[in-house]
Copies of this chain bind each other. A is one copy, B any other.
Amino acid sequence: MKAAVITIGDEILIGQIVDTNSSYISKALDKIGIATYEMLSISDNKEHILKTFKDVQNNFDVVIITGGLGPTKDDITKKTFCDYFDDVLVQNDEVLQNVKDIIEGFYKKPITQLNIDQALVPSKAKVLFNKVGTAPGMLMEHESTVFISLPGVPYEMKYLVDNEIIPYLVEKFERPYIVHKTLMTYGRGESLIAEQIENWETNLPNFIKLAYLPSPGKVRLRLTARGENEDFLKEAIFNEVEKLKPIIGDIIVGYEEDETIEVVLGKLFAEKKVTLSTAESCTGGKISQLITAVAGASAYFYGGITAYSNQIKTDVLKVNSDLIDEFSVVSAAVAKEMALNCKSIFKTDYAIATTGNAGPTKGESDAELGTVFIAIATPNEVFVEEFNFGQPREKVVYRAVNTAFEMLYKEISKN
Protein backbone atom coordinates (compact mmCIF):
# COMPACT_ATOMS: atom_id res chain seq x y z
CA MET A 1 0.00 0.00 0.00
CA LYS A 2 1.72 3.13 -1.20
CA ALA A 3 0.25 6.62 -1.17
CA ALA A 4 1.31 9.96 -2.64
CA VAL A 5 0.04 13.29 -1.35
CA ILE A 6 0.01 16.21 -3.77
CA THR A 7 -0.73 19.86 -3.04
CA ILE A 8 -1.53 22.22 -5.88
CA GLY A 9 -0.99 25.95 -5.51
CA ASP A 10 1.55 28.65 -6.26
CA GLU A 11 1.10 30.13 -2.79
CA ILE A 12 2.99 27.10 -1.44
CA LEU A 13 5.73 27.18 -4.08
CA ILE A 14 6.55 30.84 -3.49
CA GLY A 15 6.66 30.23 0.25
CA GLN A 16 3.67 32.39 1.08
CA ILE A 17 1.92 29.69 3.06
CA VAL A 18 3.16 26.55 4.75
CA ASP A 19 1.49 23.33 3.61
CA THR A 20 -0.10 21.74 6.67
CA ASN A 21 -2.59 19.62 4.71
CA SER A 22 -0.07 16.98 3.61
CA SER A 23 0.93 16.39 7.19
CA TYR A 24 -2.68 15.90 8.32
CA ILE A 25 -3.42 13.52 5.45
CA SER A 26 -0.31 11.40 5.84
CA LYS A 27 -0.91 11.08 9.58
CA ALA A 28 -4.48 9.89 8.96
CA LEU A 29 -3.24 7.38 6.35
CA ASP A 30 -0.48 6.18 8.65
CA LYS A 31 -3.02 5.37 11.36
CA ILE A 32 -4.77 2.90 9.04
CA GLY A 33 -1.51 1.33 7.84
CA ILE A 34 -1.06 3.20 4.56
CA ALA A 35 2.43 4.60 4.13
CA THR A 36 2.88 7.93 2.36
CA TYR A 37 5.85 7.40 0.10
CA GLU A 38 6.07 10.87 -1.35
CA MET A 39 4.65 14.36 -0.84
CA LEU A 40 4.74 16.77 -3.72
CA SER A 41 3.81 20.42 -4.15
CA ILE A 42 3.24 21.68 -7.67
CA SER A 43 1.95 24.84 -9.35
CA ASP A 44 -1.53 25.79 -10.60
CA ASN A 45 -0.47 24.88 -14.13
CA LYS A 46 -2.38 22.47 -16.34
CA GLU A 47 0.64 20.79 -17.96
CA HIS A 48 2.39 20.42 -14.64
CA ILE A 49 -0.68 18.82 -13.07
CA LEU A 50 -1.19 16.44 -16.02
CA LYS A 51 2.48 15.40 -16.02
CA THR A 52 2.29 14.70 -12.28
CA PHE A 53 -0.88 12.62 -12.68
CA LYS A 54 0.90 10.53 -15.34
CA ASP A 55 3.94 10.09 -13.09
CA VAL A 56 1.90 8.75 -10.18
CA GLN A 57 -0.55 6.67 -12.26
CA ASN A 58 -0.08 2.97 -11.38
CA ASN A 59 3.00 3.74 -9.24
CA PHE A 60 0.81 4.43 -6.20
CA ASP A 61 -2.32 2.77 -4.87
CA VAL A 62 -3.77 6.02 -3.59
CA VAL A 63 -3.08 9.61 -4.63
CA ILE A 64 -4.62 12.38 -2.56
CA ILE A 65 -4.61 15.86 -4.05
CA THR A 66 -5.54 19.10 -2.25
CA GLY A 67 -6.04 22.63 -3.55
CA GLY A 68 -7.28 24.40 -6.63
CA LEU A 69 -10.99 23.54 -6.21
CA GLY A 70 -12.21 27.04 -5.32
CA PRO A 71 -14.57 29.14 -7.44
CA THR A 72 -12.04 31.56 -8.95
CA LYS A 73 -10.07 31.62 -12.20
CA ASP A 74 -6.82 30.41 -10.68
CA ASP A 75 -8.56 27.22 -9.49
CA ILE A 76 -7.95 24.73 -12.31
CA THR A 77 -7.76 21.38 -10.55
CA LYS A 78 -11.32 20.24 -11.32
CA LYS A 79 -11.06 21.06 -15.01
CA THR A 80 -7.67 19.34 -15.26
CA PHE A 81 -8.90 16.31 -13.28
CA CYS A 82 -11.73 16.03 -15.80
CA ASP A 83 -9.36 16.32 -18.77
CA TYR A 84 -6.99 13.69 -17.44
CA PHE A 85 -9.80 11.15 -17.11
CA ASP A 86 -11.35 12.20 -20.41
CA ASP A 87 -14.56 13.09 -18.62
CA VAL A 88 -17.12 15.93 -18.74
CA LEU A 89 -18.50 18.18 -15.99
CA VAL A 90 -22.15 17.73 -15.03
CA GLN A 91 -24.25 19.54 -12.48
CA ASN A 92 -24.88 17.63 -9.24
CA ASP A 93 -28.16 18.72 -7.66
CA GLU A 94 -27.30 17.58 -4.17
CA VAL A 95 -24.08 19.60 -4.25
CA LEU A 96 -25.96 22.60 -5.62
CA GLN A 97 -28.43 22.41 -2.73
CA ASN A 98 -25.51 22.29 -0.27
CA VAL A 99 -23.93 25.36 -1.92
CA LYS A 100 -27.25 27.22 -1.66
CA ASP A 101 -27.70 26.20 1.98
CA ILE A 102 -24.26 27.54 2.85
CA ILE A 103 -24.24 30.78 0.83
CA GLU A 104 -27.88 31.82 1.20
CA GLY A 105 -28.73 30.02 4.46
CA PHE A 106 -25.62 30.43 6.60
CA TYR A 107 -23.83 33.46 5.12
CA LYS A 108 -27.09 35.22 4.08
CA LYS A 109 -25.47 36.34 0.81
CA PRO A 110 -26.80 36.24 -2.76
CA ILE A 111 -25.65 33.19 -4.72
CA THR A 112 -23.41 33.97 -7.71
CA GLN A 113 -22.69 32.08 -10.94
CA LEU A 114 -19.26 31.16 -9.56
CA ASN A 115 -20.98 29.55 -6.57
CA ILE A 116 -23.37 27.64 -8.83
CA ASP A 117 -20.44 26.37 -10.92
CA GLN A 118 -19.06 24.69 -7.82
CA ALA A 119 -21.82 22.09 -8.21
CA LEU A 120 -20.28 20.92 -11.50
CA VAL A 121 -18.49 17.58 -11.03
CA PRO A 122 -16.89 15.04 -13.41
CA SER A 123 -19.62 12.61 -14.55
CA LYS A 124 -17.66 9.44 -13.69
CA ALA A 125 -16.36 10.59 -10.29
CA LYS A 126 -17.67 9.56 -6.90
CA VAL A 127 -18.67 12.88 -5.31
CA LEU A 128 -17.49 13.48 -1.74
CA PHE A 129 -20.00 15.77 -0.06
CA ASN A 130 -18.39 18.67 1.74
CA LYS A 131 -20.83 19.78 4.42
CA VAL A 132 -18.51 22.49 5.75
CA GLY A 133 -17.75 24.26 2.47
CA THR A 134 -18.93 24.83 -1.09
CA ALA A 135 -16.32 22.81 -3.03
CA PRO A 136 -17.04 19.05 -3.16
CA GLY A 137 -14.27 16.44 -3.17
CA MET A 138 -13.98 13.93 -6.04
CA LEU A 139 -12.79 10.34 -6.18
CA MET A 140 -11.87 8.43 -9.33
CA GLU A 141 -10.67 4.82 -9.52
CA HIS A 142 -8.50 4.58 -12.64
CA GLU A 143 -6.45 1.50 -13.59
CA SER A 144 -4.56 0.52 -10.41
CA THR A 145 -4.68 3.93 -8.75
CA VAL A 146 -7.38 5.76 -6.77
CA PHE A 147 -7.24 9.53 -7.34
CA ILE A 148 -8.88 11.72 -4.69
CA SER A 149 -9.14 15.50 -5.06
CA LEU A 150 -9.98 17.65 -2.01
CA PRO A 151 -10.37 21.39 -1.35
CA GLY A 152 -7.29 23.08 0.13
CA VAL A 153 -9.03 24.94 3.00
CA PRO A 154 -7.72 22.96 5.99
CA TYR A 155 -10.96 22.37 7.88
CA GLU A 156 -12.81 21.35 4.70
CA MET A 157 -10.00 18.95 3.80
CA LYS A 158 -10.05 17.55 7.36
CA TYR A 159 -13.80 17.04 7.26
CA LEU A 160 -13.57 15.03 4.03
CA VAL A 161 -10.54 13.01 5.14
CA ASP A 162 -12.20 12.01 8.43
CA ASN A 163 -15.72 11.43 7.13
CA GLU A 164 -15.24 10.19 3.57
CA ILE A 165 -11.69 9.19 2.65
CA ILE A 166 -10.64 7.10 5.65
CA PRO A 167 -13.88 5.06 5.77
CA TYR A 168 -13.60 4.46 2.00
CA LEU A 169 -9.95 3.29 2.21
CA VAL A 170 -10.60 1.08 5.23
CA GLU A 171 -13.39 -0.62 3.30
CA LYS A 172 -11.51 -0.94 0.01
CA PHE A 173 -8.00 -2.09 0.94
CA GLU A 174 -6.44 -4.81 3.08
CA ARG A 175 -3.72 -3.01 4.98
CA PRO A 176 -0.75 -4.04 7.19
CA TYR A 177 -0.39 -2.55 10.66
CA ILE A 178 1.89 0.33 11.58
CA VAL A 179 2.52 0.93 15.27
CA HIS A 180 4.38 4.03 16.48
CA LYS A 181 5.57 4.98 19.91
CA THR A 182 7.15 8.37 20.51
CA LEU A 183 9.15 9.11 23.62
CA MET A 184 9.52 12.78 24.51
CA THR A 185 12.87 13.60 26.12
CA TYR A 186 13.95 16.94 27.54
CA GLY A 187 17.33 18.48 28.34
CA ARG A 188 19.90 16.18 26.65
CA GLY A 189 21.42 16.43 23.16
CA GLU A 190 20.83 14.01 20.28
CA SER A 191 24.45 12.75 20.08
CA LEU A 192 24.70 12.05 23.77
CA ILE A 193 21.43 10.13 23.77
CA ALA A 194 22.57 8.19 20.69
CA GLU A 195 25.80 7.13 22.43
CA GLN A 196 23.96 6.07 25.56
CA ILE A 197 21.45 3.91 23.72
CA GLU A 198 23.78 2.65 20.96
CA ASN A 199 23.79 -0.93 22.18
CA TRP A 200 20.02 -1.01 22.56
CA GLU A 201 19.56 0.53 19.09
CA THR A 202 21.87 -2.01 17.40
CA ASN A 203 19.85 -4.86 18.90
CA LEU A 204 16.42 -3.62 17.77
CA PRO A 205 14.52 -6.26 15.76
CA ASN A 206 14.60 -5.50 12.04
CA PHE A 207 10.87 -4.68 11.81
CA ILE A 208 11.31 -1.80 14.28
CA LYS A 209 12.83 1.46 13.09
CA LEU A 210 14.12 4.27 15.34
CA ALA A 211 14.13 7.97 14.43
CA TYR A 212 15.57 10.94 16.35
CA LEU A 213 13.55 14.16 16.09
CA PRO A 214 15.56 16.95 17.68
CA SER A 215 14.34 20.48 18.34
CA PRO A 216 15.85 23.12 20.64
CA GLY A 217 16.07 21.64 24.16
CA LYS A 218 14.19 18.42 23.40
CA VAL A 219 14.53 15.23 21.37
CA ARG A 220 11.67 12.92 20.42
CA LEU A 221 12.54 9.27 19.83
CA ARG A 222 10.11 7.55 17.53
CA LEU A 223 9.84 3.77 17.25
CA THR A 224 7.94 2.39 14.26
CA ALA A 225 6.99 -1.26 13.78
CA ARG A 226 5.35 -2.65 10.63
CA GLY A 227 3.81 -6.08 10.14
CA GLU A 228 0.68 -8.18 9.87
CA ASN A 229 -0.08 -8.78 13.54
CA GLU A 230 -0.97 -5.68 15.52
CA ASP A 231 -0.78 -7.27 18.99
CA PHE A 232 2.64 -8.71 18.24
CA LEU A 233 3.92 -5.30 17.08
CA LYS A 234 2.53 -3.54 20.14
CA GLU A 235 4.13 -6.05 22.47
CA ALA A 236 7.48 -5.80 20.70
CA ILE A 237 7.43 -1.99 21.00
CA PHE A 238 6.39 -2.21 24.66
CA ASN A 239 9.33 -4.52 25.39
CA GLU A 240 11.82 -2.22 23.69
CA VAL A 241 10.56 0.80 25.63
CA GLU A 242 10.88 -1.15 28.89
CA LYS A 243 14.54 -1.91 28.04
CA LEU A 244 15.14 1.77 27.38
CA LYS A 245 13.79 3.04 30.72
CA PRO A 246 16.78 2.01 32.88
CA ILE A 247 19.12 3.77 30.38
CA ILE A 248 17.44 7.16 29.79
CA GLY A 249 14.31 7.04 31.95
CA ASP A 250 15.45 10.21 33.74
CA ILE A 251 14.95 12.41 30.66
CA ILE A 252 11.74 10.86 29.29
CA VAL A 253 8.73 13.06 30.05
CA GLY A 254 6.02 11.41 27.94
CA TYR A 255 5.14 8.16 26.23
CA GLU A 256 2.11 9.01 24.13
CA GLU A 257 2.33 9.59 20.41
CA ASP A 258 2.72 13.30 19.87
CA GLU A 259 2.06 14.02 23.51
CA THR A 260 3.32 17.51 24.04
CA ILE A 261 4.70 18.70 27.35
CA GLU A 262 1.62 20.95 27.76
CA VAL A 263 -0.59 17.87 27.59
CA VAL A 264 1.63 15.94 30.02
CA LEU A 265 1.64 18.91 32.42
CA GLY A 266 -2.13 19.23 32.11
CA LYS A 267 -2.59 15.60 33.13
CA LEU A 268 -0.23 16.01 36.10
CA PHE A 269 -1.98 19.18 37.28
CA ALA A 270 -5.41 17.57 36.96
CA GLU A 271 -4.25 14.37 38.68
CA LYS A 272 -2.66 16.22 41.60
CA LYS A 273 -5.58 18.67 41.77
CA VAL A 274 -3.26 21.69 41.77
CA THR A 275 -3.64 24.94 39.86
CA LEU A 276 -1.50 27.22 37.72
CA SER A 277 -1.24 30.83 36.57
CA THR A 278 1.26 32.72 34.41
CA ALA A 279 2.96 36.12 34.39
CA GLU A 280 4.64 36.64 31.05
CA SER A 281 6.82 39.43 29.79
CA CYS A 282 9.10 38.38 26.92
CA THR A 283 6.99 35.31 26.05
CA GLY A 284 4.02 37.62 25.46
CA GLY A 285 1.20 35.19 26.31
CA LYS A 286 2.60 32.19 24.43
CA ILE A 287 2.77 30.02 27.58
CA SER A 288 -0.83 30.82 28.44
CA GLN A 289 -1.91 30.19 24.85
CA LEU A 290 -0.26 26.75 24.69
CA ILE A 291 -1.73 25.72 28.05
CA THR A 292 -5.24 26.77 27.02
CA ALA A 293 -4.93 25.02 23.63
CA VAL A 294 -5.35 21.78 25.61
CA ALA A 295 -9.07 20.94 25.99
CA GLY A 296 -10.02 20.83 29.68
CA ALA A 297 -7.33 23.31 30.76
CA SER A 298 -9.89 25.31 32.73
CA ALA A 299 -9.73 22.62 35.44
CA TYR A 300 -6.20 23.66 36.48
CA PHE A 301 -5.32 26.88 34.64
CA TYR A 302 -6.87 29.96 36.24
CA GLY A 303 -5.31 32.54 33.94
CA GLY A 304 -2.35 34.76 33.27
CA ILE A 305 -1.09 38.27 32.92
CA THR A 306 0.96 39.46 29.99
CA ALA A 307 2.97 42.28 31.56
CA TYR A 308 4.66 43.81 28.58
CA SER A 309 5.64 47.17 30.06
CA ASN A 310 7.35 48.07 33.35
CA GLN A 311 4.29 50.02 34.40
CA ILE A 312 2.07 46.92 34.17
CA LYS A 313 4.60 44.94 36.16
CA THR A 314 4.29 47.47 38.97
CA ASP A 315 0.60 48.44 38.64
CA VAL A 316 -1.03 45.10 37.84
CA LEU A 317 1.50 42.53 39.03
CA LYS A 318 2.46 44.74 42.02
CA VAL A 319 6.20 44.29 41.49
CA ASN A 320 8.04 46.71 43.78
CA SER A 321 9.46 49.45 41.55
CA ASP A 322 12.55 49.69 43.77
CA LEU A 323 13.42 46.15 42.69
CA ILE A 324 13.24 47.18 39.04
CA ASP A 325 15.38 50.25 39.69
CA GLU A 326 17.96 48.29 41.66
CA PHE A 327 18.23 45.09 39.62
CA SER A 328 16.67 46.07 36.24
CA VAL A 329 13.46 44.65 34.87
CA VAL A 330 15.30 41.69 33.35
CA SER A 331 16.60 40.16 36.57
CA ALA A 332 16.21 37.19 38.89
CA ALA A 333 14.68 39.39 41.59
CA VAL A 334 11.93 40.71 39.30
CA ALA A 335 11.17 37.26 37.85
CA LYS A 336 10.75 35.83 41.37
CA GLU A 337 8.51 38.69 42.46
CA MET A 338 6.40 38.31 39.32
CA ALA A 339 5.89 34.58 40.00
CA LEU A 340 5.05 35.09 43.68
CA ASN A 341 2.63 37.95 43.05
CA CYS A 342 1.00 36.11 40.16
CA LYS A 343 0.44 33.08 42.41
CA SER A 344 -1.16 35.31 45.01
CA ILE A 345 -3.29 37.41 42.60
CA PHE A 346 -4.69 34.32 40.88
CA LYS A 347 -4.78 32.26 44.11
CA THR A 348 -3.11 29.27 42.45
CA ASP A 349 -0.71 26.63 43.77
CA TYR A 350 1.91 27.25 41.09
CA ALA A 351 2.88 30.18 38.89
CA ILE A 352 5.35 30.65 36.05
CA ALA A 353 6.97 34.01 35.29
CA THR A 354 9.22 35.12 32.45
CA THR A 355 11.15 38.34 31.94
CA GLY A 356 13.78 38.80 29.28
CA ASN A 357 15.09 40.56 26.26
CA ALA A 358 13.87 38.77 23.12
CA GLY A 359 15.26 41.36 20.71
CA PRO A 360 15.86 42.42 18.01
CA THR A 361 16.65 45.61 19.98
CA LYS A 362 17.06 46.26 23.68
CA GLY A 363 13.94 47.45 25.48
CA GLU A 364 13.50 48.81 28.99
CA SER A 365 16.60 46.93 30.15
CA ASP A 366 20.29 46.77 29.30
CA ALA A 367 20.37 42.96 29.49
CA GLU A 368 22.14 41.22 26.63
CA LEU A 369 19.85 40.18 23.76
CA GLY A 370 18.51 36.69 24.38
CA THR A 371 18.74 36.88 28.18
CA VAL A 372 15.69 35.37 29.89
CA PHE A 373 14.90 34.76 33.57
CA ILE A 374 12.30 32.10 34.30
CA ALA A 375 10.84 31.78 37.79
CA ILE A 376 8.53 29.11 39.19
CA ALA A 377 6.54 29.68 42.36
CA THR A 378 5.45 26.47 44.08
CA PRO A 379 3.25 25.99 47.16
CA ASN A 380 6.36 26.32 49.34
CA GLU A 381 9.02 28.32 47.55
CA VAL A 382 10.07 30.25 44.48
CA PHE A 383 13.10 29.56 42.31
CA VAL A 384 14.57 31.20 39.25
CA GLU A 385 17.05 30.35 36.48
CA GLU A 386 18.91 32.58 34.02
CA PHE A 387 19.37 31.66 30.36
CA ASN A 388 20.74 33.12 27.18
CA PHE A 389 18.84 31.86 24.16
CA GLY A 390 20.76 33.95 21.59
CA GLN A 391 18.81 35.33 18.64
CA PRO A 392 16.53 35.66 16.66
CA ARG A 393 13.45 36.79 18.60
CA GLU A 394 11.29 33.79 17.61
CA LYS A 395 13.95 31.34 18.84
CA VAL A 396 14.27 33.17 22.18
CA VAL A 397 10.51 32.98 22.75
CA TYR A 398 10.34 29.35 21.60
CA ARG A 399 13.17 28.23 23.87
CA ALA A 400 11.94 30.27 26.83
CA VAL A 401 8.48 28.70 26.58
CA ASN A 402 9.89 25.17 26.30
CA THR A 403 12.33 25.70 29.13
CA ALA A 404 9.59 27.07 31.39
CA PHE A 405 7.53 23.93 30.73
CA GLU A 406 10.58 21.74 31.38
CA MET A 407 11.30 23.46 34.71
CA LEU A 408 7.67 23.17 35.75
CA TYR A 409 7.58 19.51 34.74
CA LYS A 410 10.67 18.69 36.80
CA GLU A 411 9.21 20.47 39.78
CA ILE A 412 5.72 19.00 39.69
CA SER A 413 6.82 15.45 38.97
CA LYS A 414 9.05 15.52 42.06
CA ASN A 415 6.21 15.40 44.52
Contacts and interface: CB of A to CB of B under 8 A. Distances in A.
Nearest to A153: B214
A40 interface: yes
A79 interface: no
Interface in A273-316: 278, 284-289, 291-293, 295, 297-298, 301-309, 311-312, 315-316
Given A36-B14, A40-B39, A305 B302 contact: no
Contacts of A192: 109, 112
A14 B224 contact: yes
Given A16-B258, A195-B112, A70 B212 contact: yes
A44 interface: yes
Nearest to A257: B16
Interface stretch (A18-26, A141-149, A377-385): A18-26
B36 A194 contact: no
A24 B14 CA distance: 9
Contacts of A189: 107, 109
Interface in A291-346: 291-293, 295, 297-298, 301-309, 311-312, 315-316, 345-346
The quantity of this chain's copies bound in the complex is 2
Contacts of A309: 298, 302-303
B292 A285 contact: yes
Q: Which of A48, A224, A302 counts the most chain B CB atoms within 10 A?
A: A302
A10 B38 CA distance: 10
A291 B222 CA distance: 35
A28 B293 CA distance: 32
Interface string A121-139: 0000000000000100000
A218 interface: no
Interface residues of A, number: 108
Interface string A168-186: 0000000000001010000
A35 B13 contact: yes
Interface of A is mostly: mixed
B393 A295 contact: yes
Contact of A114 (B27, B195, B345): B195
The interface centre, meaning the residue of A20, A24, A213 with most chain B CB atoms within 10 A of its CB, is: A213
A367 B182 CA distance: 38
A347 B212 CA distance: 49
A81 to B, nearest CB: 19
6 contacts: A10-B211, A14-B180, A288-B306, A292-B308, A298-B364, A304-B306
Given A72-B190, A288-B289, A298-B308, 9 more contacts: A10-B209, A11-B222, A17-B213, A72-B191, A153-B215, A284-B292, A285-B304, A298-B364, A315-B345
Interface of A: 9-20, 22-30, 35-44, 48, 70-75, 103, 107, 109, 112-115, 134, 153, 155, 180, 182, 189-192, 194-195, 201, 209-216, 220, 222, 224, 258, 278, 284-289, 291-293, 295, 297-298, 301-309, 311-312, 315-316, 345-347, 359-361, 363-364, 392-395, 397
The 7 closest A-B pairs by CB, nearest first: A15-B27, A284-B292, A285-B288, A285-B285, A39-B41, A285-B289, A15-B26
